[in-house]
Amino acid sequence: MTTYAVRDPRGGADPEPYPTATDEEIQAAIAAAHKAHREWSRKTTVEERAALVRRVGDLHLERRDELAEITVREMGKPWEEATGEVEFSAAIYHYYADNAPTFLADEPIELLDGTGSAMIRRASLGVLIGIMPWNFPTYQVARFAGPNLAVGNTILLKHAPQCPATAAALQQLYLDAGFPEGAYVNVYATNEQVADVIADPRVQGVSLTGSERAGAAVAEIAGRNLKKVVLELGGSDPFIVLGSNDMDATVEAAIAARCGNTGQACNAGKRIIVLDSLYDEFVEKFNAKMTSEELVSTPLSSEAAAKRLTEQVEQAVSGGAVLRSAGDPHDAFVPSGVLEGVTKDNPVFHQELFGPVAMVFKVGSEEEAIELANDTPYGLGSYVFTPDPEQAQRVADQLDVGMVFINGVDADGVELPFGGVKRSGFGRELGRYGIEEFVNKKMIRTIA
């Protein structure tokens, strides 16, 4: 049974439960979203919807501290990162408010026979359900709901069970921004209810950010019911060091890539791959930073998450890896650490470590680095560090991923498409491509 409750991973407070939706409430939510699409979306212009999306962004900034405080309480995110997340969410709404009229404009088609005219007109599909995770509770909603509301789709939003307060705050924010009832509806749904929502003929698509297991389950239901689906799943992104003019800066970048959001990010740099000629210097500095007691002092999202990561680390060590750590785990806290000597037969070699523990590998060549980077079931993001621009582009072309960042981290932008390949999912969010996923590209041909 799905239970919605705020359980502060820092401890000291009893859980705050929220009531799970009844089947009748789920049906009412679908009906409201369907009605809003028919009676509101189809009667508004892109510009009118964009103005409401802009107001949502404004309210994120006005309520930044309130939203950030909820995030800290729900999943333990450091305060500075929580406020930054809200500000980035606001930027997403503002981006789509600014660009939706251009992105959704009619697109003429040049006819080969020259007779009459033809065009693509982008229209909404209808009701969508978004299934969102706990690790970025405002940002994940923004990149799904912002562009789709600008299109004219209406939203049912099922948030993570540990983020019910964020879910409620965002529902109220959309109403306060001026969206009508049914345009954005929060649902405290169970997994079984979500399956029924996806199957409902009034619902036209589903977007999920979460685990492989959840993605596979949702894709199966969506496939059976012929629904469009976007999946953003896990990742075990390589951080490849092939050269450096400033090793201290490269190490700092690797720390940031691994430990942002306490290591709980799908696109974190989880596997550090270093050329043998640079390995000793890099690892000495990287280990010193990663085993510093001051590096990560915030908890993981829950005691269950900490237990899961601790078990993976123990498996790795049992399989022959060497752990260097800042201390011992306790409650929801897992100290930052480094695993060296993880061989291909180690149980964790192909796993995703969701927390501040990095795997470090030594390679003898650029070709070996690429082979190791691609030896994973995932294909979300990657990082390539080298002062040789030709090498950087050459390596980027050979990585089986959806995103490559060269000589930098924390370089995400609202205009940059986000998504992966292989078991990291399919589809894109953000940028121009993010608004194209749930759109009816209707061809209109006029003969005379």
DSSP 366-434: HHHHHHHHH-SSEES--EEE-S-HHHHHHHHHH--SS--EES-SS---TTS-B--EETTEE--BSHHHH
Distance CA 90, CA 168 (A): 17
Given 74, 85, 163, 232, which residue is catalytic?
A: 232
DSSP structural state of residue 294: T
**Which residues touch 12 (CB under 8 Å, ≥6 apart)?**
none
- Among 178, 175, 154, which Cα is nearest to 29's? 154
Q: How far is CA 230 from CA 161, 243, 288, 325, in A?
A: 21, 36, 40, 37
CA distance 16 to 35: 33
- Give the largest Cα separation in the chain, rounded: 76
The question of whether 232 is a catalytic residue gets the answer yes
CB atoms closer than 10 angstroms to residue 63: 19
The rounded distance, in Å, linking the Cα atoms of 206 and 191 is 14
Dist. CA 312–CA 228, nearest whole Å: 34
**Spatial separation of the C-alpha atoms in residues 185 and 158, rounded to whole Å:** 9
Contact 54, 41 (CB under 8 A): no
Catalytic residue among 266, 366, 429, 437: 266
Phi and psi dihedrals of 329, rounded to 5?
A: -70, 150
The answer to whether 66 is a known catalytic residue is no
DSSP per-residue codes, 164-209: HHHHHHHHHHHHHHTPPTTSEEE----HHHHHHHHHSTTEEEEEEE
Residue 379 phi/psi, 5° resolution?
Answer: -160, 55
The residues carrying an active-site annotation are 232, 266
